[in-house]
Amino acid sequence: MGLDHFLRRPSIPKASPKHFPSLSTDDCEIYAEPAWPRERQPYVVLLSGFIMMMNSWGLVMSYGAFMGLFDEHLLPSTSTLTLSLPGSFPAFLILLLSLIAGPLLDAHLHRYLAATGFTLTTAAYLALSFTCGAGSYGQGTYWAILLCFLLAGLGQACFFVASSQNATQWFPHRRCLAIGITSAGAAVGGILYPLAIRFLVGKYAFPTGIRILASLVGSTGLVAALFGQANPTAPRRALGPLLRPSTWLDPTALRSGPFLAYAAGVACIFAGFFALPFFVTNWAQNRGLGVPQDIVGGDGELPSADGPPGIRSYWFLIILNGSSAVGRVAGSWVAMRAGDPLVTQAAFCVLTALLALLMWPLAGTTAAAVAFSVLYGVFGGGVLGLVASVVAELVPGRSKDCVGQWTGMLFVACAVPALVGPLVGGALYARYGQNAVGWFTGGALLAAAAWMGLGVWLRRREERRVGRGKEGGAEVQVV
């Protein structure tokens, strides 16, 4: 069994618009292509998308390491709720600006967005190194830190949608799995960047350590900007007048019941899911399951090895993010085998909600806390890694040049929930304790599963209506 057998799609009759009226000529021609591309370029672009996700959502997922550092050392008198804002704003901007990035990607302006993302993220983390003096206790300047994370959010927004759009265009037959691989970049960034922050700040103090971090973000971002590009054979939608609403909003999406139900479900995910990763280090410390990070600043020395025994609390965040990489790829593989990413994602939402509702408040040992971090990362990765795949499936066949636009519309609906969710989690944490954060996350994910279930029902109802229309001799398009 050679390589050609692996690359070749299963033998099926050649499709054509004559035999399948619902398919366009481009849709029919795609069936003659190999399952996995044989050229090098698609895989280079896939790597570029992986890096884009690492430097966008991966950095957002790494904020727990920054928050522990600010809370314990640089901003010790600042409330937990206030410290949540610098982590929430980048997520808010990433999702809000997806409405603009999506149509730009449909117009094949990938490289312009990637270059802008590289410039802004590098500048943001370089500026962050100047916000805390010499890095000694209490020397953080909150408003300057907040502005740096706002600037980082602008750059990360340029990377975010482009990462999944690259996979969608270059891997049409393995779209779900390719998007899962790209999405795993967020988890890898969530592992590497907290470790880098821990080591660099501990060894070189905050200013120098964050400048080295900025160089890492910049060098990887430059690779993404150089190699990320649109597939020239993919459908291209010309960018309309900037002030025309239809340039940014597709009326077909606003009339699609499955899409609107799914958008509500994803909004619930972004409202509740990230509250736990933001507070997992504090949760571990307060329950006596982890040892404080003990990051020193200003003297350039690592913490002493003679400190208190036990697992350092920042490792719970790293374990959670690392497990998310497995969940994103595995979840995409399960969805590809099951043939329905939406149903698969709803199932992952229910499983992750049960973990938040039951295991988060009941974990009483270090082993149980590690197990929670692993399971929450795996199942949560399945939740997050399927969003772009579901959107690509919901876009009608005749509107495949609008995938970026639909993705942007979906994410802009999630912007405010992503901003408010961690703040609500912080308020609940401060007033009712850490268990309330788990209840909030679990409830949000159960609500997301319910909305997705409604989306599945609406989609199947429309498919039955279309099928009855074809049987009657007329094709009915339902929007």
Would you state the structure tokens that stand for residue 297, as one six-digit string?
A: 């600043």
Question: By the 8 A CB rule, do 379 and 78 touch?
Answer: no
Supply the pLDDT for residue 305: 43
Query: What is the band of 448 on the pLDDT scale with cuts at 50, 70, 90?
Result: very high
Residue 330 pLDDT more than 60? yes
Helix axes of 257-272 and 387-394: crossing angle, nearest 10 degrees: 170
Given pLDDT bands bounded at 50, 70 and 90, which one contains residue 180?
confident
Q: How far is Cα 140 from Cα 127, in angstroms, rounded to an integer?
A: 13
The dihedral of CA 333, 334, 337, 341: what is its sign? negative
Q: How far apart are CA 345 and CA 381, in angstroms?
A: 10
pLDDT at 293 over 70: no
User: Model pTM?
Assistant: 0.73
Would you place residue 422 in the very low, low, confident or very high pLDDT band (cuts 50, 70, 90)?
confident
| The pLDDT of residue 7 is above 80 | no
d(CA 36, CA 394): 23
At 253, is the secondary structure helix, strand, or coil? Answer: helix
Is the model's pLDDT at 33 over the cut of 70? Answer: no
* Cβ 455 vs Cβ 464: under 8 Å: no
Q: What is the pLDDT of residues 376-416, one digit of tens each?
A: 999 998 898 888 888 888 887 655 567 778 888 888 888 88
At 202, the amino acid letter reads: G
Asked if residue 365 has pLDDT above 90, the reply is: no
Show the DSSP H helices in 19-109 as ranges.
25-29, 41-54, 57-61, 63-69, 80-96, 98-106
Q: How far apart are CA 156 and CA 188, in angstroms?
A: 16
Most confidently modeled of 95-99, 168-172, 298-302, 442-446? 442-446
CA angle 264–268–274, rounded 5-degree value: 145
Average pLDDT of span 202-221: 92
H/E stretch holding 430 reads helix 415-432
DSSP state of 73: I
- Retrieve residue 106's tokens: 């449909």
Give residue 6's pLDDT band: very low, low, confident or very high (50, 70, 90). very low
Q: How far apart are CA 280 and CA 257, in angstroms?
A: 36
> For tokens 């094949």, what's the residue?
108
Contact between 275 and 424 (Cβ < 8 Å): yes
What mean pLDDT comes out for the span 309-314?
69
Mean per-residue pLDDT, 307-336: 80
What is the rounded CA–CA span in Å between residue 329 and residue 306? 39
Q: How many CB atoms lie within 10 A of CB 257?
A: 16
The CA distance from 273 to 290, in Å, is 22
> Are the C-beta atoms of residues 363 and 316 closer than 8 Å to each other?
no
pLDDT tops 50 at residue 27: no
Q: Mean pLDDT in the chain?
A: 79
Q: What is the pLDDT of residue 439?
A: 93
Q: How confident is the model at residue 170 (pLDDT cuts 50, 70, 90)?
A: confident
Q: How far is 390 from 267, CA to CA, in rounded Å? A: 14
